[in-house]
Structure formats: structure tokens, C-alpha cells
Amino acid sequence: MTAAGISALLPLLVLSGGIVVLLMVVAWLRSGAVAFVGALVVLGATIVVTPLALGTGTQDIDGLLEIDGYALFFHGLFAFAAVATAVLSYRYLKPRAAHAQEFYILLLVATLGAAVTAATDHFAGFLLGIEVLSISLYAMIAYPQEGRGPLEAAAKYLVLSGAGTSTMLFGMALIYLVTGTLEFAPAGELSRNEQLLLAVGQAMLLIGVFFKLSLVPFHMWTPDVYQGAPAPVTGFVATVSKAAVFAVLMRYALAVGVVDAEVLRNVIVVVAVLSMVAGNLLALLQVNIKRLLAYSSIAHMGYLLIAVVVAATPQVRSFGVETALVYLAGYVLMTLAAFGVVTVLSDADEDAEDLTAYDGLFWRRPVLAAVLAAAALSLAGIPLTVGFIAKFYLVAAGVDGAAWILVWALIVGSAIGIYYYLRIVFAMTKRPEAGTQAPPVAWEGVISVVVLGASIVVLGVFPAPVIDFVRALGGP
């Protein structure tokens, strides 16, 4: 491996080295605070070295990893999301888990898994990354000691995510059978039978990915897991694990040309449309904010598939990738902000998941309410928020790539979506009953959601720096 290769690997090296060091430290110092600070230091260092790695250009690491601007974008994004998750979890976990050292290490491992997933063009790396991510997540979801919600959610996630992975693995095996390589590469000349086999393999791979992205009709587990998992972990699952899987899907689709195959393209379009429509329609029925956000994330993943479909057209390829990156950046910010507010408002006994818990929040806690309103309006795609820029990108990409069915589904989906996002905002504007006292909340949690909320608005008004940055990265 060259020196350039090593410097390209810096974020991953810092992250994995940090995990090892932290493991040893907490073996001596059984303290949640030390693990928390240690995790922040490791993640901070990861964020710092990511720009250094950017200077090296695309580096292929033994065929297993492909460190390019695209991968490093996700490394930075995941580390950022992990910082927010760690900060939000600290006070949240105190009453729920007596010793929370391992939680932060699991968080780092999950981040590492996600980072590997986003940086691989090889099935081995793909599987490795995704499993490291998922297995850490099972433990993180089940972390609180009390209550059956987390345990139930973890079991459900374990079973269904495992089913997804095995489907994917079978798909990979079939693809390997035909192409003879584990790398993401287009197949050469194939006979009729081989073509069929490849299509089946790719379809199985896609089904596994759809499971992980919780796209309709493979979404059944999502609301239950989102509801049962501890709120900060739900935020992490909804952002980092989704973005990682999406990153590798995009890479695979572009490298292999999955979307070029008429059948598979149609499958993706149908799944996208179903997710947008069903996700939004089912969200309408929810009275639990975690379930509502679960259905909304299903719809958002459906929107994102537009970028994958569009990027298959050669002249729109780079625009499609750009769209996906801008959208994911915005999506991560607004989803983290929404779950962050849920976390901060949760008390020692239960999560603030009932929509009625938000009645009159504007008058009780104007700052948190403003952040949640910004997040909800951003998810709905209203201007002045980054969600609008993201949605604008998707519509533009859809129009440019002439994906009219998807664009119309996006419009219909957004129209339905506005209704339930506004319901959150409306609940917060209600007059509170006299004498309701606002319980104290964690100040560090408030700061982190305010930072998230502010970045939603700032990037919504001045998106040019992010756009220029993303364009400079280049595609996978």
C-alpha cells in the first residue's frame, strides 16, 4: 500500500484505532463519562483527518475499498451524525443503563461499519461493512435495561435484518457464479441462461438492500423498530444506516449498470413509487411521533431512489450523484434534529413519543419547538430549510432525467406529507393548559439540536457552499 493509500485511509484508521484504545481504557476506567469523552475525541479526530484524506484523490485499497471523494463525504457525514448521537445519548441513557461505556464503543463500531460500507466496491467489503454496522445496532437498540420496547425492537431488527442480509448474500453468490468476480464490475458477454441467473442474483441483492432501506413492500419492521429503539439510536438508524446502504447501492448501480436493465429499472421505479405513496399515506394515520417519522423515512428513501434511477442516464449521471449527496446531507440533518428533540424531551421513564406530548410546546419550550418545526418543515420541503434545496434537487434531477412517473409520485407524496408534518407544527402551537410546568432538559442536548436546527436553516438559505463542495468531490 502506498503512502497516499494510507493517508486516504486515515479516517478509517483513526476510527478503528480509536475503538481499540477506547476498549482498553474502559477496561481500566469503568466510567460512562470517560467513554463518552473518548468517543467524542475519536469522532472529532476522524472529522479532522477527513479533509486531509481528500487531498489524495481516488485510492483503490487492495480491491476491497475504494476511497474517493464520495466515500470521504460519507465518512465525514457519519462521524458528524455519530457525534450528535453520542451527545444526545449521554443524558438520555443515564437513567436507563447503569454502565453505558460499551454504548459509545458500539456507536464507534457502527460508524466504522457504515464508513466501510460507503467506501467499498467489492462484495466482501459490502458484507463486512453492513454486518459490522447491523450487529452493533442490535446491541445499541437493546441497550436500555428497563422495558420490553428496546428488547422487542432489537429482536425484530435482528431477525428481519438478518433475513435481508441472507437474501443479499445469496444474491451475491449468484452474481459471483455468473461473473466470477466479487468486485462491482459489469458482466461481459453472457449466454441467455447466465443473463437470467445474473438478473435473479441482482434482484435478490436489491431485495436485501430494499430491506435495509425499508422500502415498500419490505418496510414492515421499520415502524416497530423505530418506536421500540431508544430515541437517539432511532435517529442513528434512520440516518447513518440508511445513508450507508444507500451509498453502496448507488455505487453498485453505477458500476454495474443495474438500472440499465429494463426489468430491474422497472422494479426500482415501482418500489420507489410504492414507498413514496404508501409511506406518506401510512404516516397520516400515526399518533406516535417515532412511528410517524419511521413512515416518513420510508417515503424519503423512496424519493432518494429517483437519484439512482436518474444517474443511470449517462449525461445526468454526475447530477444524479450530486443530488443524492445533497439530499442525504439534508436528510441526515433534519432527521437527527427531529429525533434529537424527541430525545431531549424524553424523561427518565419513557420517550416523548406521543404526539400529544408536543401540544403547546411553542409556549413551554420555544427553542426546542422552533427546532422541531424547522425539522418538520424541512422534511416537508418548505423553503428556508435545507429540505427544500434537497427536494428541489430531486425534482430537477427527475425533470432532467425525464423520470416523469417518479416526479409525479414525488409531488403527490410531498403533498400528502405536508399534512402530517404540519400536524406536528400545529400541535405545538396549541395553547397549553395553565400551570403546566416544563421539566428541566439536558443543556448539551439542547445545544446539539440547536446546532442541527440552525444548520437546517443556514444551508437552506445559503446552499451554494455545500453544492460546490459536493460537486468538487466527483462521483463514485
Partner 1 sequence: MILAVVLLLLAAGVLAWASERFVGANAPRVVSVLAFAVGLAWAISEWLGGPAATGLYAAQHIEWIPRFGISVALSMDGLSLLMVALTMFLGIIAVVSSWDEIETGHGFFQFNILWVMAGVVGVFTAMDLFLFFFFWEVMLIPMYFLIAIWGHENKGYASMKFFLFTQISGLLMLLAILALVFVHFRSSGEITFSYEKLLGADVDPAIAMWLMLGFFAAFATKLPSVPVHTWLPDAHTQAPTAGSVILAGILLKTGAYGLIRIAVPLFPQASMDFSFWAMLLGVVSILYGGFMAFSQSDFKRLVAYSSIAHMGFILIGVYAFNEVGLQGAIVTMVAHGFSTAALFMMAGALQHRLHTREMSRMGGLWVHAPRMGVMTLFFVVASVGMPGLGNFVGEFLALLGAFGKNVPLAVAATVGIVVAAVYGLYLMQRSFQGTPNPDVAAMPDFGARDMSVMILMAGALVWVGVYPQPVLELAGATIATLGVLP
Residues that bind partner 1 (CB under 8 A): 362-363, 377, 382-384, 388, 392, 395-396, 399-400, 407, 411, 414-415, 418-419, 422, 425-426, 429, 431, 463-464, 467-468, 471
Cis bond leading into 366, ω under 30°?
no
Q: How far is CA 290 from the centre of its chain?
A: 15
- Give the E-state strand segments of 325-465 in sequence order: none
Query: Euclidean distance between the first and final Cα of the chain, in Å?
Result: 21
Q: Which residues contact 227 (CB under 8 A, 6 or more apart)?
A: 149, 153, 288, 290, 291, 294, 353
Nearer to partner 1, 39 or 292 (CB): 292
Nearest residue (CB) to partner 1, 305 versus 382: 382
Residue 460 C-beta: closest distance to partner 1, Å: 10
Residue 434: partners with Cβ closer than 8 Å, 6 or more residues away: none
Q: How many CB atoms neighbour CB 322 within 10 A?
A: 21
| CB 220 within 8 Å of CB 295 | no
Asked if residues 323 and 222 have their Cβ atoms less than 8 Å apart, the reply is no
* Residue 155 vs 454, nearer CB to partner 1: 454
Least distance from partner 1 to the Cβ atom of residue 471, Å: 7
Contact 233, 84 (CB under 8 A): no
- In the block, residue with C-alpha cell 427553542: 367
Residue 354 three-state SS: strand
Rounded to a whole number of angstroms, the minimum distance from the CB of residue 418 to partner 1 is 5
The H or E element containing residue 18 is helix 3-28
Least spacing, CB of residue 392 vs partner 1, in Å:
7
In sequence order, which ranges of 55-181 are alpha helices (DSSP H)? 69-93, 101-118, 123-141, 149-179
- Chain centroid offset of residue 218 CA: 17
Complex with partner 1: residue 103 or 362, whichever CB lies closer:
362
In Å, what is the CA distance from 195 to each residue of 101, 175, 183, 188, 308?
50, 10, 18, 10, 22
Q: In the bound complex, what is the minimum distance in angstroms from residue 252's beta carbon to partner 1? A: 27
Task: Provide the minimum distance between the beta carbon of 467 and partner 1 in the complex, in angstroms, as a whole number.
Answer: 5
- Smallest gap, in angstroms, from Cβ of residue 389 to partner 1? 8
For the CB of residue 426, give the shortest distance to partner 1 in the complex, in Å.
6
Cβ nearer to partner 1, comparing 159 with 461: 461
| Residue listed under C-alpha cell 458477454 | 189
Least distance between partner 1 and beta carbon 380 (Å)? 8
State which residue, 155 or 418, has the beta carbon closest to partner 1.
418
Question: Cα(296)–Cα(300) distance, rounded to whole angstroms?
Answer: 6
Nearer to partner 1, 138 or 392 (CB): 392
Dihedrals phi, psi of 122, to nearest 5 degrees: -145, 140
| Helix (H/G/I), strand (E/B), else coil: 257 | coil
Please, which residue, 124 or 411, has the CB nearer to partner 1? 411
Q: Of the two residues 169 and 384, which places its CB atom closer to partner 1 in the complex? A: 384
Residue owning grid cell 422487542? 152
Min. distance of Cβ 143 from partner 1 in angstroms? 38
43 or 311, CB closer to partner 1? Answer: 311
Q: How crowded is residue 426: how many other Cβ atoms within 10 Å of its Cβ?
A: 11
Least Cβ distance, residue 34 to partner 1 (angstroms): 40
Q: Is the CB of 180 or the CB of 383 nearer to partner 1?
A: 383
Q: Which residues contact 287 (CB under 8 A, 6 or more apart)?
A: 354, 355, 356
